[in-house]
């Protein structure tokens, strides 16, 4: 329509100018008859032709924006584990599995449909799925059903929502969606709304790990603030690494646990009782912003529950209140977050409260580079020694699954990126390390639990094709008190990916 108005205005101006020229020409004819009637007719014919030519207008009308847009991608990811042992350590009667060598030949595809419904409403459907052929290549009969169900294929509806304006200051969004809280790029503190895909820890950044949930979200805008009220109808839990896999080996807690003894988890139904609630208040100002959060959502820690004389892993809700802020200061972006979490259901003791805090910064003073450093502390109030010192054997004697947590769990994340080749290529390094104090609350320099470091490069070959390759190194801790990273220390691998967008 803008093009149509521009053409009409141009024709109107041209008509006025030509009319003035015609008047001058007629005045001159009265004084000195130098023009013939034929020449005047030719001039008038040309003027009329200009007014009646609508071919450009018709072409512009045909090029109005469509009410829908379809896009998508396909990709192929391969990975090779160069450090894994040939056979996994298992309970004597269980099947050992080989996770060395080729570990991914994953074909992935996604399709997105975006639609406009009038001026104030729009909707989006985003679906994806992948299939990993490496298991068929290596022989599916050599792996458990749990491993194959987790890693051979997966499909998901990432987005399926409708969004619009009820009034000038009130918006609504209903359906499957992702809500991002907090300021950190590498450590979750207040970002508790959506569960994560934890099937391959360290391989993917947080921004690509969130799993969408069905929720209703209201946003009210006033001044510099945005007030959000959220009801989460779908009690979706995190995706876990399969028990017995290279990311959760059966000896992760010490001596190998039989596959049959690792408890299944309770999958919650959609109901009013399982509905989660959240709210946020975001303020955006010149050079800084601040956000306040409150939520009642499912925890990412499981508890043990007996149902019909069978042991299950069950997830309960927690209450969280938090605050986060960014401040721009020259070449620095300073960030801070804090969250008080109430009613965490620890397994070896009563419910506890925890305070999670983070400080960090992004530095952008070097051309084409960004350096980020973040540091966090998770402090458990009324800590009891058994929450850290109890191992799996001691817990089994008491019918308790150990917690494996410290009074203060410290985490540091360092990220650096450099872009070159006109921003078509970016090389990124990320390292994260975890540790804390011992059961006596002392920091003696020997309570380092492990972490990982990853180096990768992305290259935009053209508008449709993106390339990526990298390497990840899992770092073991200096003790078996917190066993997770020690159990996956041999999962180091190289990987490569090609993606085509349309």
Tens of pLDDT along the chain (502 residues)? Answer: 433 333 334 333 333 433 344 344 334 434 444 443 444 344 344 434 444 444 444 444 456 678 999 999 999 999 999 998 877 888 888 999 999 999 999 999 999 999 999 999 999 999 999 999 999 999 999 999 999 999 999 999 999 999 999 999 999 999 999 999 999 999 999 999 999 999 999 998 888 899 999 999 999 999 999 999 999 999 999 999 999 999 999 988 878 889 988 899 999 999 999 999 999 999 999 999 999 999 999 999 999 888 888 989 999 999 999 999 999 999 999 999 999 999 999 988 889 999 999 999 999 999 999 999 999 999 999 999 999 988 887 877 777 888 999 999 999 999 999 999 999 999 999 999 999 998 888 887 778 899 999 999 999 999 999 999 999 999 998 877 788 898 999 999 999 999 999 9
Instruction: Report residue 71 as tokens.
Output: 């896009």
Whether 36 and 152 map to the same domain: the answer is no
Question: Of 60, 77, 94, which residue is a domain's last?
Answer: 60
Whether 124 and 50 map to the same domain: the answer is no
Whether 159 and 110 map to the same domain: the answer is yes
State which residues form the domain around 50.
Answer: 2-60
pLDDT at residue 18, as a whole number: 35
pLDDT at residue 219, as a whole number: 98
pTM, two decimals, is 0.83
Per the DSSP assignment, residues forming a β-bridge with 375 are 359, 412
pLDDT at residue 483, as a whole number: 86
The number of domains in the chain is: 2
Whether 488 and 356 map to the same domain: the answer is yes
The residue among 40, 38, 41, 15 whose CA lies nearest residue 25 is 40
Helix axis angle, 37-52 to 2-31, nearest 10°: 170
Question: Of 20, 38, 60, which residue is a domain's last?
Answer: 60
Whether 408 and 471 map to the same domain: the answer is yes
Whether 366 and 344 map to the same domain: the answer is yes
Question: To which residue do tokens 């990982």 refer?
Answer: 452
Whether 186 and 80 map to the same domain: the answer is yes
Whether 20 and 169 map to the same domain: the answer is no
Whether 407 and 475 map to the same domain: the answer is yes
Per the DSSP assignment, residues forming a β-bridge with 109 are 74, 129
CATH number of residue 80's parent domain: 2.40.160.10
Q: What's the rounded Cα separation, in Å, for the pair 420 and 74?
A: 25
The residue among 236, 265, 250, 246 whose CA lies nearest residue 178 is 236
Whether 35 and 88 map to the same domain: the answer is no
Whether 404 and 496 map to the same domain: the answer is yes
H helices then E strands: how many in the chain?
8, 19
Whether 17 and 120 map to the same domain: the answer is no
Question: Of 25, 40, 60, which residue is a domain's last?
Answer: 60
């Amino acid at each position: 329509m803008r093009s149509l108005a521009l053409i009409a205005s141009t024709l109107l101006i041209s008509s006025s100018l030509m009319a003035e020229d015609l008047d001058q020409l007629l005045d001159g004819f009265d004084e000195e008859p130098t023009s013939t009637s034929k020449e005047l007719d030719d001039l008038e014919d040309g003027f009329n032709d200009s007014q009646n030519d609508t071919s450009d207008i018709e072409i512009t009308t045909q090029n109005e924006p469509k009410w829908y847009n379809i896009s998508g991608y396909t990709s192929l990811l391969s990975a090779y584990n160069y450090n894994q042992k040939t056979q996994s350590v298992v309970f004597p009667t269980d099947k050992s599995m080989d996770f060395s060598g080729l570990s991914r030949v994953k074909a992935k595809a996604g399709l997105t449909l975006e639609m406009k419904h009038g001026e104030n409403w729009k909707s989006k459907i985003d679906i994806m799925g992948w299939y990993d052929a490496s298991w068929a290549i290596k022989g599916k009969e050599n792996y458990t059903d749990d491993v194959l169900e987790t890693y051979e294929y997966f499909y998901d509806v990432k987005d399926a929502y409708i969004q619009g304006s009820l009034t000038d200051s009130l918006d609504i969004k209903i359906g499957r969606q992702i809500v991002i809280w907090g300021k950190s790029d590498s450590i979750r503190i207040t970002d508790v709304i959506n569960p994560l895909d934890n099937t391959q820890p360290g391989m993917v950044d947080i921004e690509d790990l969130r799993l969408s949930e069905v929720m209703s979200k209201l946003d009210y805008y006033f001044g510099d603030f945005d007030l959000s009220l959220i009801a989460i109808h779908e009690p979706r839990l995190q995706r876990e690494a399969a028990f017995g896999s290279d990311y959760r080996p059966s000896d992760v807690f010490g001596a190998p646990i039989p596959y049959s003894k690792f408890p299944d988890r309770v999958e919650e139904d959609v109901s009013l009782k399982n509905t989660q609630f959240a709210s946020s208040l975001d303020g955006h100002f010149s050079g800084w912003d601040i956000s306040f959060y409150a939520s009642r959502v499912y925890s990412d820690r499981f508890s043990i529950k007996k149902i019909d004389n069978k042991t299950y892993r069950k997830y309960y809700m927690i209450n969280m209140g938090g605050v986060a802020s960014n401040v721009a200061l020259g070449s620095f972006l300073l960030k801070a977050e804090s969250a008080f979490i109430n009613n965490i259901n620890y397994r070896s003791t009563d419910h506890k409260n925890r305070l999670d805090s983070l400080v960090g910064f992004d530095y952008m003073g070097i051309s084409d580079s960004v350096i980020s450093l973040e540091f966090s502390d998770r402090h458990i109030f009324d800590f009891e020694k058994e929450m850290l010192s109890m191992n799996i054997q001691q817990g089994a004697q008491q019918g308790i699954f150990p917690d494996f947590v410290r009074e203060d769990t410290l985490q540091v994340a360092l990220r650096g990126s450099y872009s070159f080749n006109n921003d078509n290529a970016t090389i990124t390094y990320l390292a994260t390390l975890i540790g804390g104090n011992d059961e006596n609350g002392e920091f003696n320099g020997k309570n380092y639990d492990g972490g990982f470091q990853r180096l990768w490069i992305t290259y935009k070959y053209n508008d449709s094709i993106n390339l990526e390759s990298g390497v990840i190194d899992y770092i073991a801790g200096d003790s078996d008190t917190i066993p997770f990273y020690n159990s996956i220390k041999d999962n180091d691998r190289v990987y490569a990916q090609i993606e085509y967008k349309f």
